[in-house]
Amino acid sequence: MTSVLDRFLRYVRYDTQSDEQSDTYPSTEKQLVLLRDLAAELRALGVADAGVDAHGYVTATVPATLSGRDVPTVGFIAHVDTSPEMSGAGVKPIVHTAYDGRDLVLPDDPDAVLRPRDIPELADHLGHDIVTASGTTLLGADDKAGVAEIVTAAAYLVAHPEIPHGPVRIAFTPDEEIGRGTKYFDVAGFGAACAYTVDGGPRGEIESESFSADAMTVTFHGFNTHPGYAKGRMVNAIKAAASFIDSLPVDSLSPETTDAYQGFVHPYVMHPSVDRTSVKLIVRDFATAGLTEKEALIASLAERVTTRFAGSRVDIAIEEQYRNMREVLDRHPAVVARARDAIRRAGLEPRSKPIRGGTDGSRLSFMGLPTPNLFAGEHNFHSRLEWVAVQDMDKAVEVIVNLAEIWSELRT
Ligand SMILES: [Zn+2]
C-alpha cells in the first residue's frame, strides 16, 4: 500500500499557494490541479463518489461498514493551499532518515538550518525520519500532511472492511490561508454530525479553543485648509490618530506582550490624511465578554483624544470575524472526548492548548458543524524551516482510523 510519506512527497511538489489579492474562487487556479488529482486518487482507491464541486471543494464518502445501525457520520477536513507569506513553488522535499540530534542544514541556503538549540521539539524526534524543504521554499506540511493523512486513512479503511465504522466524509478545501476556506462550504450537503480539521502541530494534540475575533476601524475626522491660513480653523486628523495610538497600553494587551489565554488589541494599518485618518485594529480574546471590554477601552481612548483636538470627532465600526469554537464544542462534549480516546488508543497522551488564531473549524463550528483541530505533525509552518516527522504522520493516520471506529462504538 502507498504510505503516507509517498503521498506527502507527491503533494508538496504541487504549487498551491493562495493569493489574497485575487477575487476569484479558489483564489488561484493552480489549487484546482491538486484538488482534481485528489478526487481522482480517491476514486481510484475505491471511494466512488469523490468529486470536485463548482467552487473547487473535494468531497468524498468512505461508505459505512456497519449496515442497519444508526451510526453518526463523521468528517475529516484538510486544506490544500499554502501560505502566501513564503514561496511554495518548486518545493524539493528532503527526508532526513533516523534523526540523530544534529543540525539539519538545508542544501539550497546555508543560512537555513534547523538547530535543536532553537527548536527544542526536535529532541522528541530522535530516530524519526524528518522531512524538510531544501531551504528556499516552505515545505507545505501545512496542510498537505493533513491531506496525505486523510487519504491514507481512507485507503486503509477501504482495504479493511472488517473495521466497523459509520459513513466517513472527507473534504479538501482551498484558500484556508487567506481566511476563505469555508466561504462556500456546504455544511448541510456535507452531512456530518461533526468533523475534525487535520491541520495541527505535534503528535497527540487536539485543539478545541480558538480566539474570538473582531476587527475595528477607528476613523478620526478633522478639517483641512491651506496651512498658511489655517490658524484657528485646521483640525489635523493625523495628529488625533497619532495621539490615540500613543495612548494604547505599551506593556500589556498587545501581540508582543501576551501569550496563552491573554487577548490583545492590535493596530495594523493606517490611512492618514489631515481631513480623515482611519486606524484599523484587530481585537482578540478567548471570551466574547473580553472582546467587548477591549472594544470599550478602545472607544474611550479614542473619545478622550477628541477632547484634546477641538473640532475633531471619531467614529468606530466593529466587524465580527470569528468566535471561539469552544462555545459550540462545549455543547457537544463527545466530539473532543472521542478524539482524546482515539489519541490514547494510538498510544499517545492527548494534549490541548488554546489556538491564538482562528481555524476553518472555528467558522465551521458556528456554521453548524462542530469541528476541533487534530494534530497533523506540522512544525514551523509558513517558514523555510517547516518540517514534519514521518512517524507523526503515521500516528495521525492511526488516530483518524481510530476515530471512525470509536464513533461507531458509542452511538449518540
Ligand atoms: Zn493550515
**CA–centroid distance, residue 39 to ligand 1 (Å):** 20
pLDDT of residue 410: 65
Q: In the sheet where 51-52 sits, what is the strand order?
A: 51-52, 58-62, 168-173, 74-79, 194-200, 373-375, 206-207
Say which of 15, 81, 295, 394 is annotated catalytic.
Answer: 81
Ligand 1 centroid, distance to 209 Cα (angstroms):
16
What is the distance in A from the centroid of ligand 1 to the CA of 199? 5
List pLDDT tens digits, range 315-361.
999 999 899 999 999 999 999 999 999 999 999 999 999 999 988 99
> Rounded to the nearest whole angstrom, what is the distance from the C-alpha of residue 31 to the centroid of ligand 1?
14
* 186-239 residue pLDDT tens: 999 999 999 999 999 999 999 999 999 999 999 999 999 999 999 999 999 999
Give pTM, 2 decimals.
0.90
Residue 177 CA to ligand 1 centre (angstroms)? 7
350 Cα to the center of ligand 1, angstroms: 20
Pairing of strands 194-200, 373-375: parallel
Asked whether residue 1 carries a pLDDT value surpassing 70, the answer given is no
Look at residue 382 and give its three-state secondary structure: coil
Distance 336 CA to ligand 1 centre (A): 19
Q: Which helix (H) or strand (E) holds 74?
A: strand 74-79
Q: For residue 412, name the pLDDT band (cuts at 50, 70, 90).
A: very low
Annotate 108-135 with b (16+ C-beta within 10 A) or e (fewer): eeeebebebeebeebeebeebbbbbbbb
CA of 368 to the centre of ligand 1 (A): 21
What H or E segment, with its residue span, contains residue 243? helix 237-246
The CA 193 to ligand 1 mean position distance, Å, reads 22
Which entry of 143, 176, 199, 392 is annotated as an active-site residue? 176
Crossing angle (nearest 10°) for helices 237-246 and 288-308: 130
Task: Using a pLDDT cut of 90, give the percent of the chain over it.
Answer: 95
Confidence of residue 70 (pLDDT cuts 50, 70, 90): confident
Q: Which residue's C-alpha cell is 511538489? A: 13
pLDDT digits (tens, 9 = 90+) for 143-158: 999 999 999 999 999 9
Local confidence band at 411 (pLDDT 50, 70, 90 cut-offs):
low
Residue 259 pLDDT level (bands cut at 50, 70, 90): very high
CA 250 – CA 139 distance, rounded (Å): 36
DSSP-derived secondary structure letter, 301: H
pLDDT at 114 over 80: yes
Residue 303 appears among annotated catalytic residues: no
pLDDT, averaged across the chain: 96
Compute the distance from residue 144 Cα to the ligand 1 centre, in Å.
9
* Ligand 1 centroid distance, CA of 378 (Å): 9
Whether 101 has a pLDDT exceeding 90, the answer reads yes
The environment of the single-atom ion ligand 1, i.e. residues with CB closer than 5 A, is 142-143, 199
- Is 176 designated active site? yes
Measured in Å, residue 79 CA sits from the centre of ligand 1 at 7
